Structure 1
Amino acid sequence: MAVVLQRPHAAVTGLFLYLYFITCGLSIPDPRQREALIKLEASMQTGGQMVLTDAEQRQDALLSKMKQEEMARADFPPAMHFFKARPLIRTSPIFSLLQKMPKGGALHVHDFSMVDVEWLVKDVTYRPHCYMCYTDNQSIRFIFSSLGPKVLPHCSPWILLENLRAKMDNTTDLDNSIMGNLTLFTDQDPEALYPSQDVVWYRFEQAFGALWGLVTYAPVFRDYYYQGLTQFYADNVMYLELRALLPEVYELDGSTHGTSWTLKTYQDVTQRFIAEHPDFFGARIIFTVNRGVNISVMTGVVEEAMKLQKDFPDIMAGFDLVGREDSGRPLWYFRDALSLPAERGVTLPFFFHAGETDLEGTDVDQNLLDALLFNTSRIGHGFALLRHPVAKDISRKRGVAIEVCPISNQVLMLVKDLRNHPGAALMSQNHPVVISSDDPAMFGASGLSYDFYEAFVGFGGIRSHLGFLKELAMNSIRYSSLTPRQQEKALALWQRKWDKFVSEKAF
């Protein structure tokens, strides 16, 4: 009987060649050996080992052609500040494709920056009983009140917006001015307007302060969250994990609701949205607190988080610290409070922001290692991970995904050219990564498509293909807080959407 020798797989051939090369070297370069090494390296990146169906291969050929044309553009969007690149991205056929693509889940989004600020201004500020005042530091504040609100320190007398607008022939300038206070996005030169991290973060925090009184009003709170789900759903996102402060929410008469009410409201609105959109898988909440609080406050919040986890296991995913990492307290400062769940045998998953910094050697720079010491389920941002080889190795071996938010890192001045983002290096090694949008409304973005564009075109380079996008979408479910059974159901739902996507003439 004749023996048929099968040709070894290119990746296997490349691996043997690689091992030989690093031990012995190659005296005479061989084109075939060179090609094998190139293929091996390509197979190591995100999506590099994804086997595409015939339909996917046909669409991938068209996508590759589109990408080559995109990368040949004189004005290359990932190399530009997002505020300048946005109009170029919007005209890109790749972006149009990504909007139609089922992207799975958004695992790193903050509660009060998920909805386009135009909706807040055009809808919410036109509602009855909406008051506004001007602060001493050139910002604004809002409140809804039936009897007229009390004077706010460091703010002008309250102005009832419906009375103010009634006196105007044209309210466009006022509305645009309000919008400008609720977002970082600007038509001016962003590098001139925000010359440093301190300046952009100050403006960032002021924008959150400006919208606070709008979104914590109970009727708006419900509508805002529903509108946020609507906008992500419209961008073909089927699941959401929301970082939420669970604030005190107020009614028109000034009465307030506590944390449990707020979390229950998230649950109720999510269930209503699923009932009206059966192909939306759901949403879960990661309870957060600002990292600027003291130890006593942190201890109380962790105690509350453990209770909420017990009372609301379906909607509550876990716990995190938020706020600017460089100016906040490091995780290790709160080690006693953060150790309480383990000491008491209580399950409280952590999803820590860590490594959202370009400082080296500081206490804050150790947050990545400390997050892993506290068994974080994922790492938010992880921008500094390449400087921490031990943390990088542990996160890979444990399957702790890095939540990469390209546009956020660029706008908040950690990186200028997104081709140089650490996420590009992580994805060249197929490190566990998910792509998310952090605070899209603050950046003039929406949903996930803009960040997927920056990752695909900016991080992936010319080699990344449809498998790159497919694996990122699947990662968003695999690394979610869903149970294994829920992940299986979510992946099946996503697969049906994906198969429909690649079979249509979406390209």
Structure 2
Amino acid sequence: MTVLPQRRHVAVACLFLCCATLGDSVPDPRIRDTLMQLEASMQIGGNLVLSEAERRLGTYIDKLKGEELAQADFPPALHFFKAKPLIRKSPLYSLLQKMPKGGVLHVHDFSLVDVDWLVKNVTYRPYCYICFTYDQSMRFLFSSRLPKPLPQCSPWMLLESLRAKMENATSLDTSIMTNLTLFTEEEPEVVYPSQDVVWKRFEQSFQVIWGLVTYAPVFRDYYYRGLTQFYIDNVMYLELRALLPETYELDGSTHDRTWSLRTYRDITAQFVAEHPDFFGARVIFTVHRGLNESMMTQAVEEAMKMQRDFPEIMAGFDLVGHEDSGRSLWYFRQALSLPAERGVSLPFFFHAGETDLEGTEVDQNLLDALLFNTSRIGHGFALLRHPVAKKLSRERGVAVEVCPISNQVLKLVTDLRNHPAAILMLEGHPLVISPDDPAMFGATGLSYDFYEAFVGFGGHSSHIGTLKELAMNSIRYSSLSPRLQEQALALWQRQWEKFVSEILS
């Protein structure tokens, strides 16, 4: 769907006004004011017409943000692991938690739920086995009998029995929690000195979580808990990047991807029935970009079948994994061309531009994503270095899914004031704010990322109109049909008006 503001008159007016000042020794202050107003109107939210109540709330928000910007320890300039306790104390963050944020369009299946719940709820369930790997990590498996040994891992131990032998199981729980997340209270710059180190640990953490969340009863509970946490954070809709893994039962029997997709559909329906102000969720089927060409072809074939069989829950297809070390989109061009060749509708939502490797084959993923008609761009961190891709994405209304905390933790940017999205936001480029892998970063929901974007990207320029349009963008650029987008926007508008009224009172 294309949602483009009409800004041609801005360029014409700027040209006229600039020409009008030629030869003047002192520029006309009225022209200066007009240019500043034109520039302000270009940013996200700059053209929204606000109600009197919204303007009053905007004044209050500006005051809170001004206090944030005056802090000596400015949270967006700090690594999120250091900034998190400061953000939690922020009155502006508390307000953003209450704000209806619309939808989350970029979040991954096995980083939805805080790891505290996983450790205290899931690992205390019966029949949970643990083994310790030779690279100082761990693996989990639920089984009604002693599991078969894993290579490069200690013998399996029943976690319940291991805890019973310990005087204090807290240290074990802390160790498990440490292995399930990147979050550390040590100096993150020392713990993760490079992108290679942090990505290795990042992908290792998903291997640790795998045996827990692919156990079928946990799979269901985990997803419901994830919906609950986003709902509490005032998110009303989700588009989930999901691997749709083979899940297993206690007796070792397994379920295929269709079972996983059907489970997402059924639990979403249950959650919506129990929470009528939650609009729903859809799944973007993902596979790892480290696959070979034949495996990718098979995955695309399967995606087309699931798109046909489950159109209400299946949104499309994407590739995941470390972009720098994975295969490029162009490498898979034969497989990715199959839907178009067969006249089958399979929307793409490609991760692209999550890199700072300029001029490489991987750096061309942005242009290739647009060549394959991607519906949105995941991350798009490198977009400013690709003027053609930037122009095409704007003209086509292809929104960039910006994930501030993820980009900082995975070492693409240090100070979020320097994030490329700060420029895109000022230009009014189609953007949505997303959390990517919140549990891996010690976050929950969307509010932390909204805070970082509003205060870090926006600085003094962002305002209540910015917040409002970013929230609306998350519905406008969703995979929902135009009719469902209209319904979702109407539901969000009611929530927004209630929020404005309650904060003012």
User: Cα deviations across residues 343-393 of structure 1 (Å, max 9, x unaligned)?
Assistant: 000000000000000001111000000000000000000000000000000
Tell me how far 1:16 sits from its aligned partner. 6.1
Q: What is the aligned partner in structure 2 of residue 497 from structure 1?
A: 495
Give the percent of matched residue pairs that are identical in Structure 1 and Structure 2: 74
Q: Of 349, 361, 377, which residue of structure 1 is paired with 2:359?
A: 361
Q: What is the aligned partner in structure 2 of residue 312 from structure 1?
A: 310
8 A contact 1:249–1:257 mirrored in 2: yes
Give the aligned residue type for 2:78: M
Describe the SS at the equivalent of 1:434. strand
Counterpart Cα distance in 2 of 1:180 and 1:479? 36
Q: Of 259, 264, 267, which residue of structure 2 is paired with 1:266?
A: 264
Give the aligned residue type for 2:48: M
Describe the SS at the equivalent of 1:345. coil
Give the aligned residue type for 1:18: C
Q: How many residues align?
A: 497
Q: What is the aligned partner in structure 2 of residue 106 from structure 1?
A: 104
Q: What is the aligned partner in structure 2 of residue 243 from structure 1?
A: 241
8 A contact 1:14–1:37 mirrored in 2: no
Do the aligned partners of residues 239 and 34 (structure 1) sit closer, same or farther apart at CA in structure 2, a change above 3 Å counting? Answer: same
User: Cα deviations across residues 403-449 of structure 1 (Å, max 9, x unaligned)?
Assistant: 00000000000000000000000010000000000000000111100
Do the aligned partners of residues 183 and 34 (structure 1) sit closer, same or farther apart at CA in structure 2, a change above 3 Å counting? Answer: same
Q: Of 286, 297, 303, which residue of structure 2 is paired with 1:288?
A: 286
User: Cα deviations across residues 102-130 of structure 1 (Å, max 9, x unaligned)?
Assistant: 00000000000010000000000000000
Tell me how far 1:18 sits from its aligned partner. 1.8
Q: What is the aligned partner in structure 2 of residue 335 from structure 1?
A: 333
Describe the SS at the equivalent of 1:402. strand
Do the aligned partners of residues 136 and 13 (structure 1) sit closer, same or farther apart at CA in structure 2, a change above 3 Å counting? Answer: closer
Matches within 5 A, 1:82-481: 82-481=80-479
User: Cα deviations across residues 78-104 of structure 1 (Å, max 9, x unaligned)?
Assistant: 001000000000011110000000000
Describe the SS at the equivalent of 1:437. coil
Describe the SS at the equivalent of 1:369. helix
TM-score (norm 1): 0.96
8 A contact 2:21–2:27 mirrored in 1: no
Tell me how far 1:19 sits from its aligned partner. 1.3
The gaps in structure 1 that reach 5 residues or longer are 1-10
Counterpart Cα distance in 1 of 2:218 and 2:182? 22
Describe the SS at the equivalent of 2:281. strand
Give the aligned residue type for 2:16: Y
8 A contact 2:17–2:31 mirrored in 1: no
8 A contact 1:13–1:36 mirrored in 2: no
Q: Of 34, 37, 62, which residue of structure 2 is paired with 1:36?
A: 34
Which stretch shifts more, 435-444 or 38-47?
38-47
Counterpart Cα distance in 2 of 1:310 and 1:18? 49
Counterpart Cα distance in 2 of 1:25 and 1:48? 25
Counterpart Cα distance in 2 of 1:271 and 1:16? 50
8 A contact 2:21–2:28 mirrored in 1: no
Give the aligned residue type for 2:408: Q
After the TM superposition, which parts of structure 1 deviate over 3 Å for at least 4 consecutive aligned residues?
11-17, 21-26
8 A contact 1:131–1:144 mirrored in 2: yes
Do the aligned partners of residues 13 and 440 (structure 1) sit closer, same or farther apart at CA in structure 2, a change above 3 Å counting? Answer: closer
User: Cα deviations across residues 8-43 of structure 1 (Å, max 9, x unaligned)?
Assistant: xxx999866521244464422222222221111111
Tell me how far 1:169 sits from its aligned partner. 2.8
Q: Does residue 20 in structure 1 map to residue 24 in structure 2?
A: no
Describe the SS at the equivalent of 2:155. coil
